[in-house]
Amino acid sequence: MANLKEVRVRIGSVVSTQQITKAMKMVSASKLRRAQGAIQQIRPYAEGLQNIVGRLVSGFDGSDAETPLTKVREVKRVGVVLLTSDKGLCGGFNSNLIKTARRYIQKLPSDQQACIIPVGRKGSDFFRRSGLPQDLRFKDLMLKIRYQATAEMAEELSKAFVGGDYDKVVVIYSEFKNPVVQYFKVMPWLPLQAEVESSITSVGGPNSANADYLYEPSREAIVRDLLPFSLAIELHKAMLDTQASEHGARMTAMDKATENAGELLRDLRLQYNRARQAAITTEITEIVGGAAALAG
């Protein structure tokens, strides 16, 4: 009977866990719908803005009109912006982002030093033990993503780049595809020229970069006003992508956990019924044996 009691306790524990995972799956599904709507709205805008900036910057080519945010210099210090979540229970989502960051850092030349700029507590907690320098000013921004806070972060990092604190800045994030599939990417963020070169020929055909445009005000004035805004939008899009990926990963993980709990419940109930049947059979055998002894 003690064995039956242990099985009943385990069944009750698994049932409670399954109820929790079901609730977490529903909450994540609700949050995913909102996050997916936000990323779907910003993507076309961000891509269009990136292409416009690409056309504007393409005409500088090292001229005096080149802005500080587009200047390529010798890389000695790399700022690695790592976007992760603040919470766990989302499968391998955070570990895959951290692995992507570690692989990128390991491939850096020996004369380049990386500084981790975590946005999200999971990345900060992991690299706290790595010995790498960290900039912890922005680690809480994933708690509630707001464009104003993202723009302030982009401005601070831009000032650090122009001031020589970083010679290059990259953003490691998860691009949302669907709740099951995420792409873990390393996005060159500063200098801006490294990012927009690939998008120049994608607008208006192969000769769009050489098209003759009239600018009012001047190209330099437009670029000075547009570059900081473009950087903030790209960073904000990466954060929204990561947030949607997190909710999708958590929803998938909780769905799988619920299924596993159901399978475990079936096994435990089968084990319980077998043990109960064996106990009843034993009791009947004892009664019959006792009755036979009395009749004899």
Look at residue 145 in the predicted model and tell me its pLDDT: 93
What is the pLDDT, as a whole number, of residue 293? 79
pLDDT tens readout for residues 108-140: 999 999 999 999 999 999 998 888 899 999 999
Identify the active-site residue in 90, 223, 235, 238.
Answer: 90
Residue 262 lies inside a defined structural domain of this protein? no
Measured N-to-C along each axis, helices 93-106 and 219-295 cross at an angle, to the nearest 10 degrees, of: 130
- pTM for this model (two decimals): 0.83
- List the CATH number of the domain containing 69: 3.40.1380.10
Number of domain units in the chain: 1
Phi/psi at 289 (nearest 5 deg)?
A: -65, -40
Is 90 labeled as catalytic in the residue annotation?
yes
CA 133 vs CA 80, 120, 167: distances in Å: 11, 16, 15
In a domain, 114, yes or no: yes
Range of the domain at 117: 25-252
